[in-house]
Structure 1
Amino acid sequence: MSSIAYFATGCFWGAERRFWQMDGVKETSVGYMGGARPNPSYEQVCTGVTGHAEMVAVTFDESKVSYQRLLEEFWTMHDPTSLNQQGGDIGTQYRSAIYTSTPEQYVTAVNSRNVYQNVLTSAGLDEIVTEIKSADGVPYYLAEEYHQKYLQKNPNGYDCHSSTGIAYPSAGIHA
Structure 2
Amino acid sequence: MTIEHAVLHTPIDGPVPEGKEVAYFGMGCFWGAERMLWSTDGVWTTAVGYMGGDRKNPTYGEVCSGTTGHAEAVKVVYDPSIVSYAELLRLFWENHDPTQGHRQGNDVGSQYRSVIFTTTDEQQQQATSSREAFQPTVTEAGYGPITTYIDTAGDFWLAEDYHQQYLHKNPLGYDACGSGICTIQW
> Structure 2 matches for 1:51-90, cutoff 5 A?
51-90=69-108
C-alpha deviation, 1:125, in angstroms: 1.9
| 5+ long unaligned stretches in structure 1 | 169-175
Structure 1 Cα separation of the partners of residues 36 and 140 of structure 2: 27
C-alpha deviation, 1:164, in angstroms: 5.2
TM-score by structure 1 length? 0.92
Aligned length: 166
TM-score by structure 2 length? 0.87
C-alpha deviation, 1:120, in angstroms: 1.4
Matched AA of 1:160:
A
Residue 171 of structure 2 is aligned to residue 158 of structure 1:
no
Q: 1:143 aligns with which of 154, 159, 168?
A: 159
Q: What secondary structure is seen at the aligned counterpart in 1 of 2:176?
A: coil
Q: What secondary structure is seen at the aligned counterpart in 2 of 1:157?
A: coil
| 5+ long unaligned stretches in structure 2 | 1-18
Structure 2 Cα separation of the partners of residues 61 and 46 of structure 1: 32
Matched AA of 2:174:
Y
C-alpha deviation, 1:165, in angstroms: 2.0
Preserved CA contact (<8 Å) 1:52 1:92: yes
Preserved CA contact (<8 Å) 1:76 1:163: no
Matched AA of 1:124:
G
Match of 1:50 in 2: 68
Structure 2 Cα separation of the partners of residues 106 and 60 of structure 1: 17
Structure 1 Cα separation of the partners of residues 86 and 171 of structure 2: 28
Structure 2 Cα separation of the partners of residues 165 and 157 of structure 1: 20
The share of aligned pairs that are identical, in percent, is 53
Provide the aligned C-alpha RMSD in A. Answer: 1.0
> Structure 2 matches for 1:5-24, cutoff 5 A?
5-24=23-42
Match of 1:2 in 2: 20
Q: What secondary structure is seen at the aligned counterpart in 2 of 1:125?
A: coil
Structure 2 Cα separation of the partners of residues 75 and 155 of structure 1: 24
Q: 2:49 aligns with which of 19, 31, 41?
A: 31
C-alpha deviation, 1:83, in angstroms: 0.8
Q: CA 1:15/1:22 → structure 2, altered by over 3 Å: closer, same or farther?
A: same
